[in-house]
Amino acid sequence: MSAWGLGRRTAVRAEPVERAPAVAVSQVSKVYPGGVRALDNVSLTVWPGTFVAVMGPSGSGKSTMMHCAAGLDSPTSGSVRIDGREIAGLDETCRTELRRDRVGFVFQAYNLIPSLTLEDNITLPLRLAGRSPDRQWMHALVERVGISGCLGRRPAELSGGQQQRAAVVRALVAKPAVVFADEPTGALDLHSAHQILQLLRGLVEEFHQTVVMVTHDPAAAAWAHHAVVMADGKVIDALEAPTAARLADRLIALGGR
């Protein structure tokens, strides 16, 4: 029902005209001081309700791409639109406010605030925005991810899997246009990782959420609808309904270059 586009390629699926892409990155380059070109004229469109994996070896620019696409960092050139709003040229405060409203994050290191209980952590973005949480939505999410029993606890008292599930709820509680997940399973054991990926895929399917996941793990990327492979700051390949085996082959081929 929705589609994704990549670079010059045409959209693969019929796109609903009334909806804007959740994220539209077009011809973005990022050059760090010292001349390192982390991104080289990258374009990527993510349509609502899709689960996209961005893959690539270390140093391929996938993290930089995510930071630019999510408004954490500003690109050197090119345009980034989140839910239809251009973020290039916005200052840090405006970008933060936009992120707070329209973007959710899940990190490898969870990044829950240790001094806050899970519930306080989950509602923190809304509190910062001065909004009150949609209790029904929050409880639905909490039930769905299975952490309703530990809302009053501090992060240090929970397992990594539980913390990451809380981070997923925090990312979704403000009903964002897109959730970015940066190696969300990198710090988890196989079982927990499986749960998180299943959860992300489930949230996309059931709640019509949009997720962009950066990972170097082909098994994780195989959960996505689509996968983009990056190398040397460029998007070099796109696969639909990828399998772990195909992705692994692709990456090994890259490593052998």
Residue span binding another protein (CB under 8 A) among the ranges 10-18, 36-44, 54-62, 101-109: 101-109
Of 62, 67, 81, 226, the residue at the interface with another protein (CB under 8 A) is: 67
Instruction: Count CB-CB contacts under 10 A for residue 31.
Output: 15
Q: Is 105 near another protein (CB under 8 A)?
A: yes
Least Cβ distance, residue 251 to another protein (angstroms)? 22
Residue with Cβ nearer another protein (42 or 239): 42
Q: 168: closest CA among 140, 145, 193, 135?
A: 145
How far is 244 from 47, CA to CA, in rounded Å?
Answer: 23
Helix, strand counts (H, E) of the chain: 8, 11
Q: Is 149 near another protein (CB under 8 A)?
A: no
Q: 219: closest CA among 180, 253, 246, 192?
A: 246
Least Cβ distance, residue 111 to another protein (angstroms)? 4
DSSP secondary structure, 150-191, as one string: GTTS-GGGS-HHHHHHHHHHHHHTT--SEEEEESTTTTS-HH
Cβ pair 30, 75 in contact under 8 A: yes
Which helix (H) or strand (E) segment holds residue 38: the answer is: strand 37-46
Q: Is 170 near another protein (CB under 8 A)?
A: yes
Residue span binding another protein (CB under 8 A) among the ranges 47-55, 82-90, 118-126, 145-153: 118-126
Residue with Cβ nearer another protein (38 or 247): 38
Residue position matching structure tokens 């190398």: 231
Least Cβ distance, residue 183 to another protein (angstroms)? 11
Site string for another protein, 195-234 (x = CB under 8 A): ----------------------------------------
Least Cβ distance, residue 97 to another protein (angstroms)? 6
Considering CB under 8 A, how many residues would be counted as binding another protein? Answer: 29
Q: 9: closest CA among 253, 198, 205, 240?
A: 240
Q: Is 92 near another protein (CB under 8 A)?
A: yes
Q: How many CA atoms lie within 13 A of 74 on its CB side?
A: 12
Q: Is 100 near another protein (CB under 8 A)?
A: yes
Of 11, 31, 72, 236, the residue at the interface with another protein (CB under 8 A) is: 72
Which residue ranges make up the site for another protein (CB under 8 A)? 63, 67, 72-73, 92-93, 96-97, 99-100, 105, 107, 109, 111-116, 120, 124-125, 127-130, 154, 156, 170
